[in-house]
C-alpha cells in the first residue's frame, strides 16, 4: 500500500502542540492501547524521547487535528489558531500565528511524529 507523508519546518516560536488523538505519551501500533483518546497539550521539546540510539520518536496516533501555536506570556495558547475552526478563511488572522493540520472526510486518523532537530 502506498504511503505518503509531509515533513515541515516551523518557526521556533511555534513551540506548543495541541492535538486530539492518542496521548499524552508517545504511542505507536504496539503501544496505542495505553494511550487514551483525548485532547492534549505539550511543548514540542516535551514530545521528544531521547533514545540512546537516535530513531523516529515523538509519535502520536489517532490524531484528528494538530495545532502548533506560540505560547503567550500567561503560558497559554495565543488564541489566534483555533482547532475548532475548520475553515481557515473564517476568523483566521491575515498574519498566521500557527499551523493547523486536520483530517477531512473519511480519511484515516493521522500519525504525527515530532523531532526537534534544527535544519541549520
Cα of first residue to Cα of last residue in the chain, in angstroms, is 34
- Residues 63-108: tens digit of each pLDDT: 999 998 887 655 555 444 444 444 444 443 444 467 788 887 777 8
Q: C-alpha grid cell for residue 29?
A: 501500533
User: What is the model's pLDDT at position 102?
Assistant: 82
pLDDT top residue among 119 and 80: 119
> Which residues lie below 8 Å from residue 49, measured CB to CB, with a gap of 6+?
26, 57, 58
- Tell me the C-alpha distance between 118 and 89, whole Å: 31
Percent of the residues in the chain that have a pLDDT greater than 70, as a whole number: 68
Long-range contacts of 89-97 (CB under 8 A, 24+ apart): 97/69, 97/70
Q: What is the mean pLDDT of residues 24-53?
A: 86
User: What is the model's pLDDT at position 35?
Assistant: 93
If you search the block for the grid coordinates 504511503, which residue do you land on?
A: 3
Between CA 92 and CA 12, with CA 38 as vertex, the angle to 5 degrees is 50
pTM exceeds 0.75, yes or no: no
User: What is the model's pLDDT at position 70?
Assistant: 84
pLDDT top residue among 102 and 41: 41
Amino acid at each position: 500500500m502506498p504511503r505518503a507523508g509531509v515533513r515541515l519546518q516551523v518557526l521556533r516560536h511555534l513551540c506548543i502542540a495541541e492535538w486530539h488523538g492518542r496521548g499524552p505519551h508517545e504511542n505507536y501500533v504496539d503501544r496505542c492501547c495505553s494511550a487514551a483518546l483525548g485532547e492534549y497539550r505539550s511543548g514540542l521539546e516535551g514530545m521528544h524521547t531521547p533514545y540512546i540510539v537516535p530513531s523516529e520518536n515523538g509519535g502520536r496516533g489517532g490524531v484528528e487535528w494538530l495545532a502548533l501555536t506560540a505560547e503567550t506570556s500567561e503560558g497559554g495558547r495565543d488564541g489566534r489558531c483555533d482547532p475548532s475552526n475548520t475553515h481557515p478563511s473564517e476568523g483566521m488572522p491575515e498574519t498566521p500565528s500557527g499551523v493547523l493540520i486536520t483530517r477531512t472526510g473519511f480519511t484515516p486518523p493521522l500519525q504525527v511524529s515530532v523531532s526537534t532537530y534544527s535544519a541549520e
